[in-house]
Amino acid sequence: MKKLIDMSAWSRRDNFRFFQDFANSWYSVTTEVECADAFNICKESGSSFFIRYLYAVVRAANEVEAFRYRKLEDGNIAVYDRLDIITPIATSDNFVTIRIPYHKDFHKFTKSAKAIIESISPETDPYAVEHEMEVSKEYNVIHLSAVPKMRFTGMTFTVNRLGDPCFYPLSVMGKASKRNDGSMYMPYSIYVDHAFIDGSHLTKFFEIMESVMNDTTL
């Protein structure tokens, strides 16, 4: 569900109005995420490292309100009470984007993610999730692509349309690499709208994501 923002009382009103007529108010940041504990937990338990960091990303996005703002077609701003996560899953010769509902309970999220991934068939429309959002106009998601064999230090993102290049945050997680001191890091790049999200919001998002990913109590 979503609720409309009262622009007259919104703390980001002036920020939004400053950026709303930019040719592109979106920007990307690439950072590194420490993941040694998460990687070792998954290796020892035989659980999915991929699902673990999917959960960390979507939980962080849900806990930072700025990530849940969306501009509606009529120009109003709304805030969603929950974001799901969408991610491309590789098939034999292509990929299929799936949507995984957010559950704060990690075990419920994992169970749901596994069931959805296992249900993919060769006949599945690779872009069904995107088409459904285009029809509903409900973009309460964050996107994450995984490229587990690629190290990168920067990333550019596709532009859907001029003046408002995307409808929701896009992100990419890369290859986990171990360092000499035993630490392990993955590159992570994210594309967000500056009208809603500042560096302070991104900092909080990164902190939560890294903490959740490496949480030994999950």
Res 23 pLDDT > 80: yes
Pairing type for strands 177-178 and 2-4 reads unpaired
Asked if residue 14 is part of any domain, the answer here is no
- Comparing CA positions, the residue from 2, 99, 88 lying closest to residue 58 is 99
Q: Is residue 73 part of a domain?
A: no
- What average pLDDT does the segment 70-89 reach? 96
Domain count, the chain: 1
Q: 195-204, pLDDT tens digit by residue?
A: 999 999 999 9
**H or E element, residue 47:** none
Given this model, what pLDDT does residue 206 score? Answer: 98
Lowest mean pLDDT across 13-27, 48-62, 132-146: 13-27
Find the domain containing 49 and state its range.
Answer: 23-67+82-213
In whole angstroms, what is the distance from residue 160 CA to residue 167 CA?
A: 8
Residue 69 predicted with pLDDT over 90 = yes
39 falls within a domain: yes
Average pLDDT over residues 78-107: 95
Quote the pLDDT of residue 118: 94
Considering the domain boundaries, does residue 96 fall inside one?
yes
157-175 pLDDT, tens per residue? 988 777 778 999 999 999 9
Per DSSP, helices labelled H in the chain are 13-19, 36-45, 49-63, 106-118, 128-136, 199-213
**Start-to-end Cα distance in the chain:** 27
Strands 26-34, 84-90: parallel, antiparallel or unpaired by DSSP? unpaired
Give the pLDDT mean for 104-117: 98
Q: What is the pLDDT of residue 210?
A: 98
Q: Is residue 130 part of a domain?
A: yes
Confidence band for 123, pLDDT divided at 50, 70 and 90: confident
DSSP 192: E
Q: Is 174 exposed, middle or buried (0-12, 13-18, 19+ CB in 10 A)?
A: buried
On whether residue 9 sits in a domain, the answer given is no
CATH number at residue 117: 3.30.559.10
Residue 148: partners with Cβ closer than 8 Å, 6 or more residues away: 50, 173, 174, 175, 176
Residue 60 lies in a domain: yes
Average pLDDT, the chain: 95
